[in-house]
Amino acid sequence: MKIIRILLGVIVIAFASYGLISRKFELMPFMIFFLGAFMLVTGLIELQRDRKRFEGYMFITISLFIFVVSIQGFLLN
């Protein structure tokens, strides 16, 4: 899970950097989708560590919202 989180973080940073440098924002829904996946994995890692705290549930809830936003971005393009 830790490797997946690092990989997703690198993907999000790569998409964000590409968008900032090239000023082309067609790939923004993909970046938002991978950001949601990153936050979902982070929330699952928090819950697996037996830390049933607010942060794990918050990450999962926010990732679901981010997935909805990315789906809307895919539909509008």
- Asked if residue 50 has pLDDT above 80, the reply is no
User: Mapping DSSP to helix (H, G, I), strand (E, B) and coil, where does residue 1 land?
Assistant: coil
Pair 35, 44: CB distance under 8 Å: no
In this prediction, residues 55-70 reach a mean pLDDT of 89
pTM of the predicted model as reported, rounded to 2 decimal places: 0.83
Distance from C-alpha of 48 to C-alpha of 11, rounded to nearest angstrom:
23
Rounded to whole angstroms, the Cα distance separating 19 from 3 reads 24
Q: Using the Cα atoms of residue 13, residue 16, residue 20 and residue 21 in order, give the sign of their dihedral.
A: positive
Q: What is the mean pLDDT of the chain?
A: 87
Write out pLDDT tens, residues 5-35: 899 999 999 999 998 899 888 888 888 899 9
Kindly tell me if the per-residue pLDDT of 75 is higher than 70: yes
